[in-house]
Amino acid sequence: GWGGERGGGSAPVDEKTGGSWSGSYATSPNQAALYRLTGDLHPIHIDPEVALANSFERPILHGLCTLGIAARMISEATGTHPANLTQLEARLSSPVLPGTVVEVTANTTSAGLAFEASVGSTLVLKGGRAAFA
């Protein structure tokens, strides 16, 4: 981390009020290189030596890219335009390697949508919440 306070644990999960869904998104092997165009130039996302020095087998996908994938999938699943997103939060719980498949599951709650994402059996986003106007 950045050396500051870690923050509280996950917020309590809202009671389910509606349907649930799941979907998958196959990341591309060059997705981290493309996401660098947004301005996040940290070498852990592109340089194999830096990734290895940080205990990763190879460069990892940007956390905000993973969160964006989940947001896009939720938007598409609910038929809501992405510009109507009013809330998006989740805890990054494990890195995603470019070229892997991200699975997102979500439930409609009284506060919007609760979601999580995984790669295989590894949870990569937890405590996710999203709301649309």
Nearest 5°: CA angle at 53, between 47 and 54? Answer: 95
What is the distance between the alpha carbons of residues 120 and 133, in angstroms, rounded to a whole number?
A: 32
Q: Token match 């999580």: residue?
A: 116
Residue 45: closest CA among 98, 123, 115:
98
Write down the catalytic residue from 19, 42, 47, 60: 60
Q: Would you call 40 a catalytic residue per the annotation?
A: yes
Write down the catalytic residue from 44, 63, 74, 128: 63
Q: Would you call 47 a catalytic residue per the annotation?
A: no
Q: Would you call 62 a catalytic residue per the annotation?
A: no
Write down the catalytic residue from 14, 23, 40, 46: 40
Q: Would you call 4 a catalytic residue per the annotation?
A: no
Enzyme catalytic residues:
40, 45, 60, 63
